[in-house]
Structure 1
Amino acid sequence: MFLTTASVDVALRLERSMESRAYSDIMFGLLNKIYHVKYLTLSENTLRVLTHASVYCFPTFHNLTVLELLFDTPSCWTLLRHILARSPNLQSLVFPNGLVGMSSSGSSFSWSPSELVPECLFSHLKIIEIREILGNNEELLLLKYLLEYGRSLRRISIDVPKYAKIRKELVKLRRGSKTCKLDLIF
């Protein structure tokens, strides 16, 4: 019997007592042992540790259908394209802390997609949930990418603050899926 659900959250105190790259290698070793999960949650701390790796060596998550990423720093964005590329059957992508995270309000990040669009965007990703966006241009670039290449998307749900000017731009974004419904929650 295989593990079907995993939530990975690490202690940062341990990271401080080890070299960052060694700690991230241990984390990648753990991920390589749970590659068969269907539901995976990666905490803020886990993502932060993984960003210190010299090489991102994610396993291929063939069974993964639901991925929850708790971003809290702009550096976590470097991992997103690698995770998506290694999750060919992903159906649901959830950002409970929003796209940037609550602790990094005002921080800037840079979304740089890979040249090859991940298979999951073309064929399987149906739902994207984003609990809150700040309304900055970088978030808009990522959303544009996900909507444009998400050919199987059925729904994208975004909590949009009242003050965010991004609402009008979100509605105008071109969608790769003709059946994609954009739910903006205020």
Structure 2
Amino acid sequence: MIPDEDWNGTWILEFLSHVPNLKKLVLDVGVPEGFRVVPGEVPSCLLYHLKEVEITTFDGDKYMFAMIRYLLNHGRVLEKLMVDVYARCEKRRWIIIDKLSRLPRNSKKCRVEIL
């Protein structure tokens, strides 16, 4: 069990550990401030089943960015990561897109699509 003070930043990983056969994940919520990866077992859906992730309205938030990095690092069978990038100015948008495109991926099949 995750201590209450850590729950705010780890609920997504807790959720993923309870859906071992998940194939598609749509995150239409922000990752809470304080998101961090608690060392431990990687949810099995990331290792064996999760093929598609969609992130809506990503504005470059560092906690959501950490979540995206985690998903790409551990998603062995991930085929597609779609990210709807939102930024107030075009320059900021291109900075976010550049950072996303440079993230390493565990799956050789994974492509990152910017919406």
Distance 1:150 1:78 in 2: 17
**Structure (1 or 2) with the greater helix fraction:** 2
Q: CA deviation at 1:175?
A: 0.4
Unaligned runs of 5+ in 1: 1-53, 55-74, 101-107
TM-score, normalization: structure 2?
A: 0.80
2:33 pairs, out of 76, 100, 109, with: 109
Higher relative contact order (CA 8 A, sep 6+): 2
Q: Over aligned residue pairs, what C-alpha RMSD do you find?
A: 1.9
2:27 pairs, out of 95, 99, 111, with: 95
Alignment of 1:145-184 (within 5 A): 145-161=70-86, 162=90, 163-164=92-93, 165-184=95-114
Q: CA deviation at 1:160?
A: 0.6
TM-score, normalization: structure 1?
A: 0.51
- Equivalent residue for 2:46? 121
SS state at 2:20 partner: coil
Alignment of 1:10-49 (within 5 A): none
Unaligned runs of 5+ in 2: none
Q: Size of the alignment, in residue pairs? A: 104
- Equivalent residue for 1:86? 18
Q: Percent identity?
A: 32
User: What do residues 105-153 of structure 1 show as CA deviations (whole Å, max 9, x unaligned)?
Assistant: xxx6122223211111010000101111120222221111100100110
Does the 8 Å contact 1:136/1:166 carry over to 2? no
Distance 2:27 2:61 in 1: 16
Distance 2:104 2:10 in 1: 24
Residue type of the alignment partner of 2:68: L
